[in-house]
Amino acid sequence: MADHELQGHTSDHTAVAEGHNHPKARLYIEIAVILAIITAVEVFVLYLPNLGFEWFRPALVPIFAVLSIAKFVMVVGWYMHLKFDDPFFVRMFGFALLIAFTVATAFIALFHGIYFG
């Protein structure tokens, strides 16, 4: 029996036992390319007001928020395998994010006006 076949049984058993359906390496590379493109877009958009599109400045922060959330979801969902993992981990991480976001928002609200002014 070939070595990889000897090992294949154990690895298949492990994969089935874990209940995972792991994406292929190609998908990881595609995601990395998308993440790089999004980062490049973020930097490009930042300099648009300096290139004569001053009217674009109020839209910068919402655009950054959307793009960074997209990157966040892709890394957490695919690279951290949360998309394929037990929903319990999703709830745990989501709850922690919610608490962190709430604390951060409350802290900034205590200094209302400072961030924007």
Task: Supply the Cα-derived Rg of the chain in whole angstroms.
Answer: 21
d(CA 67, CA 62): 9
d(CA 27, CA 116): 40
Q: Does 75 bind other proteins (CB under 8 A)?
A: yes
Q: Which of 85, 90, 83, 72 is nearest to 35 (CA)?
A: 72
Q: How far is the CB of 63 from other proteins (least distance, A)?
A: 9
d(CA 34, CA 28): 10
Q: Considering the complex, state which of residue 51 and residue 110 has its C-beta at the smaller distance from other proteins.
A: 110
Q: Does 41 bind other proteins (CB under 8 A)?
A: no
- Applying CB under 8 A, which residues contact other proteins? 3-4, 6-11, 13-15, 17-18, 22, 24-25, 28-29, 31-32, 35-36, 39-40, 42-43, 46, 49, 57, 60-61, 64-65, 67-68, 71-72, 75-76, 78-81, 85-86, 88-89, 92-93, 95-97, 99-101, 103-105, 107-108, 110-111, 114-117
